[in-house]
Structure 1
Amino acid sequence: MKKPVLTPDLIRLNANPHTKQQAIQMAGALLVEQGYVAPDYIEAMLLREQTLSTYIGNGVAVPHGVDEMGTLIHHAGIAILQMPQGVHYGPQLVTLLIAVAGHDAAHLALLSRIATVCMEEENVARLVAATSTDELMTAFLPSVSSNDLL
């Protein structure tokens, strides 16, 4: 059975990790707990981060696993950490971290939707100030009823 790409259980408001690695592990744990990925996918995200930063600008990072780790993904999905206090991602401060789990076209569609939403600083500021998971879900889902980014 296909899982929704985003649910309230995949969002953490006011998360306060102390390091980039903790933030990636926290978002990865949400994907693991909800059955989207195998536990080793967290290590795949950390591995990718060692070779190439997933910071995309405007205070947003989009960690995801390396291509060879696709077998660790059970369902396409995203986990969102809202971090108003931010976490250092090298010289940048990240306030919104969106962990992505997806294969091929699903992976590209997820990244495309995230980039579209996060390209405007005002959108990111609104998401970082959001007080409910519904506000974040509405921003990333084209229609609240579909719960499908693809």
Structure 2
Amino acid sequence: MTDQILTVSTVVAAGSATTRDEAIREAGELLVTAGAVTPAYVDAMLEREGSVSTYMGNYLAIPHGTNEAKDAITRSALSLVRYSQPIDWNGDEVRFAVGIAGLNNEHLEILSKIAIVFSDEDEVQKLIDAADANELFTLLEEVNAE
């Protein structure tokens, strides 16, 4: 599996988006900047959201591309954007947009690790309270472990 799925450079402590689609773009652009996906993948993330919501509960959404966008992925990666004000995600409140791109189904393992963290309300509160991107990264660094 790719060693560094999540890096400090793909964590943003204060996202600027105010809408669901802006949040998807913000999470997706971090993946593009990291060299993990092409810009076409961001479009596929928006397309996926149009057909099925990626809201997971506990303030978390995990936008990702469609199966047809697999060719736009160059390596597995994760981005995380935290919002100080909840974003309306089809009627649900989202404070964390986790963009995900996975090669060879690596994203399934990553998704399970993220789900475990976000299933614990105390852990979610720690993420909400984290001072900056470095602290967020430290709290989520275990997603990189094999």
- TM-score, normalised by the number of residues in structure 1: 0.90
RMSD across aligned positions (CA): 1.5
1:5 and 1:77 in contact (8 A); partners too:
yes
Aligned positions of 1:12-51 closer than 5 A = 12-51=12-51
Give the C-alpha shift of residue 133 in structure 1. 2.0
Aligned positions of 1:1-150 closer than 5 A = 4-142=4-142, 148-150=144-146
Return the alpha-carbon distance in structure 2 between the equivalents of residues 141 and 129 of structure 1: 16
Give the C-alpha shift of residue 103 in structure 1. 2.6
Return the alpha-carbon distance in structure 2 between the equivalents of residues 39 and 20 of structure 1: 18
Return the alpha-carbon distance in structure 2 between the equivalents of residues 23 and 53 of structure 1: 13
Return the alpha-carbon distance in structure 1 between the equivalents of residues 145 and 70 of structure 2: 19
Give the C-alpha shift of residue 114 in structure 1. 0.7
Task: Spell out structure 1 runs of 4+ moving beyond 4 A.
Answer: none
Give the C-alpha shift of residue 98 in structure 1. 0.4
- Give the aligned length: 145
Return the alpha-carbon distance in structure 2 between the equivalents of residues 13 and 42 of structure 1: 20
1:3 and 1:75 in contact (8 A); partners too:
no
Unaligned runs of 5+ in 1: none
Give the C-alpha shift of residue 85 in structure 1. 0.7
Between the aligned residues of both structures, percent identity stands at 33
Q: Which amino acid aligns with 1:12?
A: V
- TM-score, normalised by the number of residues in structure 2: 0.92
What SS class does the counterpart of residue 45 from structure 2 fall into?
helix
What SS class does the counterpart of residue 18 from structure 1 fall into?
coil
- 1:93-126: CA deviation from partner (whole Å, max 9, x where unpaired): 1001101010343010111111011111221121
Unaligned runs of 5+ in 2: none
2:74 and 2:103 in contact (8 A); partners too:
no
Give the C-alpha shift of residue 135 in structure 1. 2.2
Give the C-alpha shift of residue 17 in structure 1. 0.8
